[in-house]
Chain A
Amino acid sequence: MKLDNLMLDRSIPPLAGKPKDVKFPDFKEVKTDNGITILVIEDNRLPLVSSSIVFKRGKYFDSYYGEDCAGLGSIMSELITLGTPRFNGEELSERIDYLGADVNVSANFDAFIVNFVSLSKNFSELFDLVQEMILQPVFDEKEFLREKSKRLNEIIAYNDDCEYLSTLLFNKVIYDRTPYSLPLTGTNSSLRELSVTKVKQLHSDLINPGEMLISFIGDITADESIEKVEKYFSHLNRSDLKSESEKIKLLPKAGVYLTNKGGAVQASMKIGHRGIEKKSEDFLKIKFMNTILGGSFTSRINHNLREVNGFTYGARSFFIQRRYAGDFCIETEVKNDLTAPACEQVIKVLREFTSEKITEDELELTKNYIAGSFPLQLETPQSISTLLINLRLFDMEKDFYDNYVTETLKITSEEVLETARKYINPDEISYCLAGDVESISGLMEQIGEVKIIQV
């Protein structure tokens, strides 16, 4: 038996000290004559430089190159690292690894992004290599074929994963027949349609200085950064091509959809409907509202499914906001025989949440939680860089992050209910589950008419 010092009353939590202000780090922003946006944050506490080169032509535009071109942007991002006029793929990776550097090329729906980091003493050499990869990739036919067969194999492996399958199913249902419905890596049929010619076409459209952002964070000065961009990218001509599209109107299509993973003992569930695009005046209110609904450990969804019912290891909700459309999704994984009970709990939580105001305690908790965890977004060069780039990629106000906390603290419980009602409609919910169809379809009939879809 442990005995406490009698002087200390452990039942009363101590009070808080005086909170400190948090500011987004000062950054310098410059536009080159040919239209490239340069963003720099100087910070020499560590001998490292992190940099990102971002192009606005994301994977969304795959479909501009043919009817079935899913995976084009993503395959191009792989090939970028596999050969320039001076070095083949093997030599490139040899040099990058030798510099102790990390180079990561990726394509998401909204942008094509090259992230790279190294010790500051090696950064000039690294930047020289990366610009060469970006501006002069050779797109070797042999590497292309290798990448294609690697991907076909990957798709087979991914199909073992219920979470992957339920994501495909959810996107297929919610983003029906729009570019957002397609898997980033491509499909069995689209991969057969792709060609080096198409990759080259996309690449030449991509290299458009008017749609480029370059950020530098770390042990480098603004002058050095600008000099590097001028040296390697000032010769590029701005093109008239604009990577813009109409906002997508997504129609409600409520239903129960299943996709099969034979023998699975647990089902991966995604429950949701269409949401909204990224640039939205309600961004902070949506974040606030979702934090209470399913965006933190104490949220209603996690509390109900994990802590009250013990149905799952964890459950969460989120709003994915992309440039032209978005979605609202609740995701969790439960044992086969708990699928329908979990769905019933989710809908119960949603109905309550869209009909009753949150309590004053919840309001205060959420304000403190969001304000208290905001500094963490400013902790690493990588996380600062992401915020910085998003600011420009989605045309947000320059002082958006400086006002983040003060704006959050103004939100009222009426506004939370209003936002919940505006963006969540329990009657339009679709249930998308990947699991052993034989075991779960009977149960899921209780929720609604089951449609089985292959993804």
Chain B
Amino acid sequence: MIHKLDVRDYDMTDVRKPMVEFRKYVLDNGLKVILARNNKIPSVVINTTYKVGSKDEMPEVTGLAHLLEHLLFEETANTSSGEFDTLLQSRGGESNAYTSNDITNYFMLLPSNQLEFGLWLDSDRMAGFGVTSESLEVQKKVIHEEKLLYCDNAPYGSVDEISSKLLFPDCAYKWPVIGDVENLMQLSLGEVEKFYSKYYSPSNAILTITGDIDYSTVPELVNKYYGTINSNGAIHRTEFGTLRQTLTLSETVPDNVNLPSDFIFYLVPEKNTREYIVGNLLSFILSYGESSLLYKELVYKGDLVSDIDLTYHALEKAGTMSLALSGYADKPIEKAVEKFDNIIGNISAGYFENSLIDKAKNQVMTMYCNRNITLISTADQLANYEFYFNDPEKINTSIYDYLSVSKNELTMFAKKFLRPDNRIRLSYIPKNKK
């Protein structure tokens, strides 16, 4: 018997709002600036997001955005390779970077008395190209090892590459962020610089600073280091291509693993949509926590697979909802897929308890309060909300979007997108061992 649960209302006065106070403005050269003061610790984060990702590459030269990130992450015109990080660490800071299909993001963490130094170092990346061919050759090798580590040698490590190819055959999400590594080895410094010159312009970037800052002095510093960099005008991006309307492909992939796993991907709407909110809430209902529908039915009670995971991954131009089913050696995963289809069928028909929605909303609420807890994640989210929604205020308001989702919307989402003719399926099986 399930103990009766009381339904709570969402009293937003619980949340001391606004959660994140910030200011946003644009420099004359087009650089967008977001400042968010928070002085709980004497540190600052400088986050520069360039609106360039793997989808801006040409199909014949993929992996360029990520290669450039590797290079610019540790070398600029005024700091040689090695010197960048030595300088940064000697000021008590450290840095990291990532590349996605849509963006390239660099961030730096420093004691707040080193803010000006950090702005100097970060802006040097935007001010000019200083990569040497020695660094290029070393980073090609490093990326090759990165590919071995996360793709070739990792169990089920090819899921990303194979699924992208099947989901997005006619557009620039077709190739993985790391790109065609063999091809990458042939790239010249000139080709890298050309890509840099096209995309690393202030008008194509978002600068976000969080932490122990002074609103009255920071804009002047930002202007000193970034305002002096010229914009190179409008960027003519490469064609993105088109999305498929139906998908029914499935593929069996023999891999160097001991256990089978299945991966199912649905094509769903992109980030800046109401459907993204609805679908994301649905993913909480389906797979967040041990009492979630899928965990309970497929793992805990059903014992059909050993684990499940369902994720809504949204990009600028498209999204995917992916289900991972980790199988047992001696049980067919097919049974779990059938059960999953039944559950989706019930949701599409509106057969599910309202309490599931309330629970998911409670979970989103806790996550909402918990997620702005570090300066790094606050900066990252502000930059992402600016990039995807042109609205960093979403960091404070998106919770209302989630709390307003209705049962009917969830049902409609499942009916419209979680259709058998809108998905691909990869079945990983153990290949014969030596």
A residues near B (Cβ < 8 Å) are 2-5, 7-8, 10-11, 13-22, 45-48, 81, 87, 89-91, 93-102, 117-119, 121, 146, 150, 153-154, 156-157, 159-162, 262-266, 296-298, 303, 306-313, 333-335, 361, 364-366, 368-369, 371-373, 375-376, 378-381, 438
Give complex CA distance A4, B202 in Å. Answer: 13
Instruction: List residues 10-50 of chain B with CB under 8 A from any CB of chain A.
Output: 14-16, 40-43
> Are B89 and A369 in contact, with the CB atoms below 8 A?
yes
With a cutoff of 8 Å between Cβ atoms, the chain A residues found around residue B43 in the complex are 375-376, 379
> Are B2 and A13 in contact, with the CB atoms below 8 A?
no
Which residue of the partner chain B has the closest CB to A296?
A: B89
Q: How far is the CB of A157 from chain B (nearest CB, A)?
A: 5
**Is B390's CB within 8 Å of the partner chain A?**
no
Contact partner of A310 (CB less than 8 A), chosen from B82, B137, B232, B328, is B137
Contact partner of B120 (CB less than 8 A), chosen from A14, A47, A87, is A14
Contact partner of B89 (CB less than 8 A), chosen from A146, A334, A368, is A368
Give complex CA distance A371, B253 in Å. Answer: 49
Q: How far is the CB of B214 from chain A (nearest CB, A)?
A: 10
User: With A160-B258, A262-B434, A379-B373 as given contacts, are A19 and B89 in contact (CB-CB < 8 Å)?
Assistant: no
Which residue of the partner chain A has the closest CB to B116?
A: A14
Other CB < 8 Å A-B pairs besides A87-B3, A333-B145, 16 of them? A15-B117, A16-B117, A48-B366, A90-B301, A93-B291, A94-B2, A98-B355, A102-B366, A157-B326, A160-B258, A262-B256, A266-B153, A310-B137, A311-B145, A376-B109, A380-B373
> Are A18 and B113 in contact, with the CB atoms below 8 A?
yes
With a cutoff of 8 Å between Cβ atoms, the chain B residues found around residue A97 in the complex are 288-292, 359, 362-363
**Is B128's CB within 8 Å of the partner chain A?**
yes
Interface 9-residue window, one of B91-99, B167-175, B235-243: B91-99
Give complex CA distance A427, B369 in Å. Answer: 51
> Are B148 and A335 in contact, with the CB atoms below 8 A?
yes
Give complex CA distance A438, B359 in Å. Answer: 52
With a cutoff of 8 Å between Cβ atoms, the chain A residues found around residue B292 in the complex are 97
A-B contact pairs, 6 of them (CB 8 A): A8-B225, A45-B40, A153-B329, A310-B137, A333-B145, A379-B41
B352-363 vs A, CB cutoff 8 Å, 1 = contact: the mask equals 000100110011
Q: How far is the CB of B202 from chain A (nearest CB, A)?
A: 9
> Are B369 and A93 in contact, with the CB atoms below 8 A?
no
Q: How far is the CB of B283 from chain A (nearest CB, A)?
A: 14
Give complex CA distance A98, B5 in Å. Answer: 8
Q: How far is the CB of A272 from chain B (nearest CB, A)?
A: 20
With a cutoff of 8 Å between Cβ atoms, the chain A residues found around residue B113 in the complex are 16-20
Contact partner of A162 (CB less than 8 A), chosen from B153, B306, B375, is B153
> Are B370 and A117 in contact, with the CB atoms below 8 A?
yes
Give complex CA distance A146, B303 in Å. Answer: 9
**Is B336's CB within 8 Å of the partner chain A?**
no
Give complex CA distance A310, B135 in Å. Answer: 10
> Are A365 and B86 in contact, with the CB atoms below 8 A?
yes
> Are B40 and A379 in contact, with the CB atoms below 8 A?
yes
> Are A8 and B228 in contact, with the CB atoms below 8 A?
yes
Q: How far is the CB of B70 from chain A (nearest CB, A)?
A: 10
Give complex CA distance A133, B142 in Å. Answer: 48
> Are A263 and B256 in contact, with the CB atoms below 8 A?
yes
A-B contact count (CB 8 A): 246
**Is B264's CB within 8 Å of the partner chain A?**
no
> Are A100 and B362 in contact, with the CB atoms below 8 A?
yes
With a cutoff of 8 Å between Cβ atoms, the chain A residues found around residue B154 in the complex are 161
Highest count of chain A CB atoms <10 Å: which of B92, B124, B146 = B92
With a cutoff of 8 Å between Cβ atoms, the chain A residues found around residue B433 in the complex are 262-263
Highest count of chain A CB atoms <10 Å: which of B43, B111, B257, B288 = B111
Contact partner of A91 (CB less than 8 A), chosen from B2, B15, B228, is B2
> Are B232 and A2 in contact, with the CB atoms below 8 A?
yes
B residues near A (Cβ < 8 Å) are 2-3, 5, 14-16, 40-43, 74, 77-78, 81-82, 85-87, 89-94, 109-117, 120-121, 124, 127-128, 137-142, 144-146, 148-149, 152-155, 212, 224-225, 228-230, 232, 256-259, 288-292, 296, 300-301, 303, 306, 326, 328-329, 355, 358-359, 362-367, 369-370, 373-375, 433-434
Which residue of the partner chain B has the closest CB to A364?
A: B90
Which residue of the partner chain A has the closest CB to B229?
A: A2
Give complex CA distance A381, B93 in Å. Answer: 22
Give complex CA distance A365, B93 in Å. Answer: 10
> Are B291 and A153 in contact, with the CB atoms below 8 A?
no
With a cutoff of 8 Å between Cβ atoms, the chain B residues found around residue A94 in the complex are 2-3, 5, 291, 359
User: With A94-B3, A100-B365 as given contacts, are A263 and B434 in contact (CB-CB < 8 Å)?
Assistant: yes
User: With A4-B127, A297-B94 as given contacts, are A375 and B111 in contact (CB-CB < 8 Å)?
Assistant: yes
Give complex CA distance A296, B373 in Å. Answer: 24
With a cutoff of 8 Å between Cβ atoms, the chain A residues found around residue B144 in the complex are 335
> Are B142 and A20 in contact, with the CB atoms below 8 A?
no
> Are B114 and A96 in contact, with the CB atoms below 8 A?
no
Q: How far is the CB of A100 from chain B (nearest CB, A)?
A: 3
Give complex CA distance A309, B303 in Å. Answer: 48
Give complex CA distance A263, B152 in Å. Answer: 10
Contact partner of A156 (CB less than 8 A), chosen from B78, B140, B329, B363, is B329
Give complex CA distance A161, B87 in Å. Answer: 36
Q: How far is the CB of B352 from chain A (nearest CB, A)?
A: 14
Contact partner of A376 (CB less than 8 A), chosen from B41, B120, B137, B140, is B41
Which residue of the partner chain B has the closest CB to A310?
A: B141
With a cutoff of 8 Å between Cβ atoms, the chain B residues found around residue A121 in the complex are 14
The 5 closest A-B pairs by CB, nearest first: A372-B92, A310-B141, A100-B362, A5-B228, A17-B113
Which residue of the partner chain A has the closest CB to B156?
A: A160
> Are A14 and B117 in contact, with the CB atoms below 8 A?
yes
With a cutoff of 8 Å between Cβ atoms, the chain A residues found around residue B77 in the complex are 10
Contact partner of A313 (CB less than 8 A), chosen from B41, B138, B145, B155, is B145
Which residue of the partner chain A has the closest CB to B38?
A: A45
Q: How far is the CB of B46 from chain A (nearest CB, A)?
A: 13
With a cutoff of 8 Å between Cβ atoms, the chain A residues found around residue B87 in the complex are 13
Give complex CA distance A15, B91 in Å. Answer: 10
Which residue of the partner chain B has the closest CB to A333?
A: B149
With a cutoff of 8 Å between Cβ atoms, the chain A residues found around residue B42 in the complex are 19-22, 375
Which residue of the partner chain A has the closest CB to B373?
A: A380
Give complex CA distance A100, B371 in Å. Answer: 14
Which residue of the partner chain B has the closest CB to A156?
A: B258
With a cutoff of 8 Å between Cβ atoms, the chain B residues found around residue A361 in the complex are 86, 90
Give complex CA distance A366, B85 in Å. Answer: 12
With a cutoff of 8 Å between Cβ atoms, the chain A residues found around residue B153 in the complex are 162, 264-266, 333
Give complex CA distance A333, B154 in Å. Answer: 12
Give complex CA distance A285, B121 in Å. Answer: 30
Give complex CA distance A265, B144 in Å. Answer: 12
Give complex CA distance A42, B433 in Å. Answer: 56
Give complex CA distance A20, B41 in Å. Answer: 9
> Are B145 and A4 in contact, with the CB atoms below 8 A?
no
Give complex CA distance A17, B221 in Å. Answer: 13
Highest count of chain A CB atoms <10 Å: which of B85, B89, B127, B328 = B89
Give complex CA distance A45, B39 in Å. Answer: 12
Q: How far is the CB of A455 from chain B (nearest CB, A)?
A: 14
Give complex CA distance A236, B364 in Å. Answer: 37
Q: How far is the CB of B315 from chain A (nearest CB, A)?
A: 25
Which residue of the partner chain A has the closest CB to B135?
A: A307
With a cutoff of 8 Å between Cβ atoms, the chain A residues found around residue B78 in the complex are 10-11
Give complex CA distance A372, B301 in Å. Answer: 50
Give complex CA distance A266, B151 in Å. Answer: 11
Give complex CA distance A96, B433 in Å. Answer: 43
With a cutoff of 8 Å between Cβ atoms, the chain A residues found around residue B110 in the complex are 372
> Are B5 and A95 in contact, with the CB atoms below 8 A?
yes
With a cutoff of 8 Å between Cβ atoms, the chain B residues found around residue A17 in the complex are 112-116
Contact partner of B92 (CB less than 8 A), chosen from A159, A161, A310, A371, is A371
> Are A47 and B91 in contact, with the CB atoms below 8 A?
no
Give complex CA distance A118, B300 in Å. Answer: 24
With a cutoff of 8 Å between Cβ atoms, the chain A residues found around residue B259 in the complex are 153, 156-157, 160
